[in-house]
A and B are shown apart, each in its own frame.
Chain A
Amino acid sequence: MNPHDLADFAITNTPEGVSLLEFKYMEDKTDYFSTRNKVIIGSGKDDSKGFGIRVLLNGAWGFSATDKLTKESVSETIKRAVKLAKAASLCNPHVTLTEEPIVVDTVENPIKIDPFHVELEEKLEHFVTAEEAARVDPAIQFTNSVYVAAQDYMVFYNSSGTKIDQRITWNGGYVTMTASGNGDTQTRKFKDDMFSTRGWESMKEFDLVGQIPEKAKELVKLLEAPQMKPGRADIILNPSQLGIQLHESCGHPTELDRALGYEAAYAGTSFLKPNLLKENFMYGNEKVTIHADATIPGAIGTFYYDHEGVKAKKLELVKEGVFNDYLSSRETALKIGRKDSGGTMRSNGYDKIPLIRMTNIVLQPDKTGYSLDEMIAETKDGYYFNTNRSWSIDDIRLNFQFGCEVGYRIEKGEITGLVKNPTYTGITNEFWNSVSAVGRPDEMEVLGTPFCGKGEPGQTMYTGHGGPPTRFSNVQVGLLE
């Protein structure tokens, strides 16, 4: 049955006493493959479809989902959701929601080349030729590649009158090279975090084959490079490492559900307690302005409407260093005095409830700031770090430690060599208060990951992050020996 008809049927049959009923049909498809040494070692197609119904009854939520697409099944699912909400009333959360505009819209992100219509052969060719080009030295014994294309089609109706039909397509992929020698093994991903809500054109436009040999040569040199020495130094992060730093130390702690304790027993809480909003807490110094922007064309965390039917927004999480806003939802926004939801609720499938998810977390560039070269030229004793390898942060998102694939030693304003196994560690707000230079708009990149995990039952989501090259001063680097 047509999902719009099922949706109509569900809304018409909203039971007495239910203050909000949401019907969400989702049809998700994924095409993927992976290779090792130019040979395909895994490929497939995933397709799932069904609907979920969420009800708010006497202030308690109930959610039930099924893959049976009939009117009878809609009635059954409403009944089960109501039953669950009634059971929840034993410890009633007394939920209230923001008032939101009623929306009737059909939207789809623009793509030039539909990745689902590109032959597997062409996609494989793209990566296999890059793997071939990466074989610059016998020390490189393994090359792997991964490619994913996905599409979420959603029909969302609620009992207030909102009717949304939204299709979001995204894709991305990369090559990993592994080199062994000199008693060591090192790896390098390229190009890392390259996922976008664009079509196959995003992959074609990027000269992977042309750029990979240089990264491969560097990887081989890394085997002979010195181990990074522990100490304190200035560090410059490239956009992808800056992205993961933002993701872990700004994106997750500004999720309001986390700050309010909804994720406490699993992902944890947040050092950004709601009272800090009123207190003008200095998250970073005045150079730090961070947006959560769901409207950046082509970025991986971009959409039109969230899964509560709220229009995508640009939120100013940190404004010139001051903690300014959270990622929020209809339920949580009221608790920090917002009148409207931040529009960040997304779910990864018909059978999951929406959760507050990052959109695109972006450090705003400095128009009159530094180029990367200028930043390096001004650094006396430091490092330039590229590409995340290891990430870890505590349950309130303060103590972090990151490892990168490659570090460039900077001495007296010049890159003087490579260091292997670079790591750095710090405390979130101290770190963001140590920013000494933010790069210019022309060197910024918004990248992202489709693998951000959250919630119970677990959900993964495609989220964006990035910014320009950025320098931090006096950071603890290296592992103590």
Chain B
Amino acid sequence: MTELTHINELLAKELEKSNLDGFEILTSFRKDALTRYANNVIHQQVESGSTFTNLRGYKGKKLGTVSASISENNISKVVQNLVETIKVSPEIPFFKGLAKEQKYQNFKPIGENYTAENAAEIVSEIVNIGTDLDPRAKLFGKVERIKLDYALLTSNGLEGSHSIRLNDLKILSIIEEGEKRGFGREVAANKTTAKPDVETLTQSAVQISKDTLEAKSVDVGEYPVVLAPQAGAELLSYTLFQLSASPYHQKYSPFSDRLGEQVLSSNFVLYDSPLNPESLMATPFDAEGVPTKNQNIFENGVPKSVFYSILSASEFLGDPSLASGLMGLPYSDYSFGGSGPSNISMKTGDSSREEMISETKRGLYVQTFWYTNIVNGPKGVITGLTRDGLYLIEDGEIKHAVKNLRFTDSLLKFFKSVDLISNTQTALLDEFGNAGNIPFYKLENLRFVSKSKH
């Protein structure tokens, strides 16, 4: 961390010479380490460590952004690059400066990463447990270790540093017999090196793959659905996207002009907890130096906030101080730097997975959704498929595994009827790397429109 603050000071010194009106520096050291396994062997064992800086500076209403690999050797080159960028940039009429002096609610980061050796041992254990349970089982997945240290310094006197450490485990079991293939998946993310419950997770993944090997086809149509946390998280991610400032203001969101209105089920409560040190991506400030806050995104089915960056708050609200503090940190190349919550939780209820199943006359149990996408933004229609675990529930019991189905439905409809929510939450990372604490929940109906072959 001292290396990052040192680089920030060197950059600031250089920037102060450049006659700008203001600047913002976010320098990060990121270590991505990942052990990936397939067909019971480790086929990918990678790690990288790099220091990047994200710089913004402005002169009047001209704003420039550069991000670059940084070391003591290229400080002046990077600053010069920024200055030239600003020079040729046109004015942004609504621009009113960057984050102003504020206080961060600092807290000590918690978290520790596995070593590459730990990761290989975990994989070896998964493979041994899995193939002992069923010699036909082949195991696939990853043990990822994410480490991000970051330090902020701005011309408005903002200064902060923090770090994120987390481990992400994925287990997929595949059993193949002739033309048939069965798939079963479990995931778990954590912040400590306490060993995950590899045994229970592997058992479940293998069992699901045995079940889905014998999956039967069911008719398409509307079904009540009990969603495992991975499946539930996917539907929530695509709901949250629609609260981004651009679709909201361009009337391309189902929530456009409906902030404060009860549009979803009254027990639908989503909250973001970046200030809870236990949250996987906890941070006291966002990538723009705006303080983060614990807040409700949906309260009793009412959308409470749109996600603004400093620029979009200036553009749409005329006030940069209304930025949400949700600008994504550079924890992965895969995050495109939009504004949105990354420590989302769905409020628990008083039910359980077992109760949800036992109270279902005829419905489906979904382990995972996959390849979800927006079909019609303004109407809130999204589509996606089940994968790695789908079951038919009949008369309160799981009857048999089902071949995968595609749903296409409006979130304004299916989230209007959240029947039951479990009293437990599972920590996980969604498809985009955002963290979640997601319970099991049951929807009164979800419309499935077509079948796949497996």
Contact = CB atoms under 8 A, between A and B. Distances in A.
- Binding partners A and B: yes
Interface of A: 36, 39-50, 52, 60-68, 80, 83-85, 87-88, 90-95, 119-121, 124, 141-142, 178, 180, 184-185, 187, 260-266, 268-269, 271, 348-349, 351-353, 389-396, 398-399, 401, 403, 421, 423, 425, 427, 453, 456-460, 476, 479-480
Contacts of A87: 35, 42, 45, 116-117, 119-120
Interface stretch (B285-293, B343-351, B376-384): B376-384
Given A45-B85, A396-B454, A479-B449, A351 B32 contact: yes
A268 B388 CA distance: 10
Contacts of A480: 447, 449
B453 A40 contact: no
Interface in B384-417: 384-385, 387-388, 404, 406, 408
B135 interface: no
A349 B47 contact: no
A41 B71 contact: no
A84 B45 contact: yes
Given A67-B69, A271-B453, A390-B373, A43 B64 contact: yes
Given A44-B85, A84-B47, A36 B406 contact: no
Contacts of B373: 390-392
Given A43-B89, A403-B375, A351 B48 contact: yes
Interface string B240-275: 000000100011100010000000000000000000
B39 A261 contact: yes
Contacts of A459: 333-334
B188 interface: no
A43 B63 CA distance: 8
A185 B312 CA distance: 21
A92 B41 contact: yes
B381 A42 contact: no
Nearest to A121: B88
A91 B120 contact: yes
B381 A479 contact: yes
B317 interface: no
A60 B46 CA distance: 12
Contact of A66 (B48, B141, B181, B433): B48
Contact of A39 (B92, B174, B333): B92
A83 B120 contact: no
The 7 closest A-B pairs by CB, nearest first: A458-B334, A44-B65, A351-B48, A65-B48, A399-B452, A93-B41, A265-B172
B89 A120 contact: yes
A170 B261 CA distance: 46
Contact of B387 (A61, A93, A263, A395): A395
A49 B49 contact: no
B193 interface: no
B42 A93 contact: yes
Nearest to A458: B334
Given A265-B172, A457-B32, 10 more contacts: A36-B315, A41-B311, A50-B50, A50-B69, A61-B45, A65-B46, A185-B256, A263-B38, A390-B376, A457-B34
B404 A399 contact: yes
A162 to B, nearest CB: 21
7 contacts: A36-B315, A66-B49, A120-B90, A185-B378, A265-B142, A401-B375, A425-B449
Interface string B23-42: 00000000010111111111
Contacts of A263: 38
Contacts of B453: 271, 396, 398-399, 427
Contacts of A93: 39, 41-43
Interface residues of B, number: 94
Contacts of A456: 34, 36, 142, 144
A457 B333 contact: yes
Contacts of A394: 370-371, 385, 387, 404, 406, 452, 454
A89 B138 CA distance: 18
Given A90-B42, A392-B371, A479 B408 contact: yes
Contacts of B312: 41
A45 B333 contact: no
B127 interface: yes
A298 to B, nearest CB: 26
A480 B120 CA distance: 48
Contact of A85 (B38, B45, B174, B377): B45
B136 interface: no
Nearest to B77: A47
B332 interface: yes
A83 B377 CA distance: 48
B441 to A, nearest CB: 22
B300 interface: no
Given A46-B67, A401-B408, A265 B251 contact: no
A248 to B, nearest CB: 9
A46 B311 CA distance: 19
Contact of A187 (B92, B127, B172, B252): B252
A262 B378 contact: no
A110 B117 CA distance: 46
Nearest to B141: A265
B90 to A, nearest CB: 6
A399 B69 contact: no
* Highest count of chain A CB atoms <10 Å: which of B41, B92, B388: B41
A64 B85 contact: no
Contacts of B63: 43
B124 interface: yes
